[in-house]
């Protein structure tokens, strides 16, 4: 796995990702001009911008290290899974509302993903194992929340926990699968 600086396709992919991040950040501002349903404060924009910067930076770094498409796909899905987990959890919460302290358990999933990437030096085999573990912990937290009745006060309980758990666990598993293919390909 070498850092690819002259890969034109990788360069276009990174430009598209950063352009998408800028468009995502602009979207709430544009929506605020047309509806009162979207009411973001300056802090909302700062937090969302910081999240996009971290996710974009992680994706940019990983795609520079990519040897092939399976690695790039795994990186894209894995970064999106982490971003989506944090975004949903901050915005509305997965277990009940965003104020439910049980939602803090999902920080463990992010810690596993980030820590595993660091410990494995972002090598495909280690990334596959890392994201498989993140999926298992994501699923375990969802199962624990259901077993303990956390979030029962929500009007959409238990669909909120089941839906979010299945979607995000599937993302982690898809990333793990892509990295497993990259490892088999020697990327």
The residue segments making up the domain with residue 75 are 9-185
- Asked if residue 108 is part of any domain, the answer here is yes
CA 60 – CA 157 distance, rounded (Å): 37
- Asked if residue 3 is part of any domain, the answer here is no
- Asked if residue 176 is part of any domain, the answer here is yes
Number of domains in the chain: 1
CA 17 – CA 12 distance, rounded (Å): 9
CA 62 – CA 117 distance, rounded (Å): 10
pLDDT surpassing 60 at residue 4: no
- Asked if residue 100 is part of any domain, the answer here is yes
Question: pLDDT tens for residues 130-152?
Answer: 999 999 999 999 999 999 999 99
pLDDT bucket at 178, cuts 50 / 70 / 90: very high
Q: Dihedrals φ, ψ of 89, to 5°?
A: -65, -40
pLDDT surpassing 90 at residue 9: no
- Asked if residue 78 is part of any domain, the answer here is yes
pLDDT surpassing 50 at residue 2: no
pLDDT at 187: 78
- Residue 125 tokens read as 């085999």
Per residue, the 3-state secondary structure of the chain, as one string, reads CCCCCCCHHHHHHHHHHHHHHHHHHHHHHHHHCCCCCCCCCHHHHHHHHHHHHHHHHHHHHHHHHCCCHHHHHHHHHHHHHHHHHHHHHHHCCCCCCCCCHHHHHHHHHHHHHHHHHHHCCCCHHHHHHHHHHHHHHHHHHHHHHHHHCCCCCCCCCCHHHHHHHHHHHHHHHHHHHHHHHHHHHCC
- Asked if residue 2 is part of any domain, the answer here is no
Q: Which residue carries 């929500």 as its tokens? A: 154
- Asked if residue 1 is part of any domain, the answer here is no
Mean pLDDT of 153-176: 96
pLDDT at 5: 52
Question: pLDDT tens for residues 43-76?
Answer: 999 999 999 999 999 988 888 877 789 999 999 9
Percent of residues, the chain, with pLDDT higher than 70: 97
pLDDT at 123: 96
pLDDT at 64: 82
pLDDT at 6: 62
Mean pLDDT of 95-116: 96
């Amino acid at each position: 796995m070498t850092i690819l600086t002259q890969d034109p396709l990788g360069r276009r992919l990174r430009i598209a990702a950063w352009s998408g991040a800028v468009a995502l950040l602009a979207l709430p501002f544009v929506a605020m001009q047309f509806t009162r349903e979207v009411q973001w404060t300056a802090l909302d924009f700062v937090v969302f911008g910081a999240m996009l910067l971290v996710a974009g930076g992680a994706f940019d770094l990983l795609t520079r290290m990519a040897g092939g498409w399976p690695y790039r796909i795994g990186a894209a899905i894995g970064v999106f899974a982490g971003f989506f987990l944090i975004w949903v959890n901050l915005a509305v919460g997965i277990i009940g509302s965003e104020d439910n302290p049980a939602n803090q358990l999902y920080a463990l999933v992010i810690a596993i993903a980030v820590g595993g990437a660091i410990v494995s030096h972002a090598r495909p085999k280690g990334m596959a194992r890392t994201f498989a573990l993140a999926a298992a912990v994501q699923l375990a937290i969802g199962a624990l929340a259901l077993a303990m009745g956390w979030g029962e006060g929500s009007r959409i309980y238990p669909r909120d926990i089941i839906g979010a758990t299945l979607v995000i666990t599937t993302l982690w598993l898809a990333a793990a699968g892509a990295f497993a293919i990259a490892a088999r390909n020697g990327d």
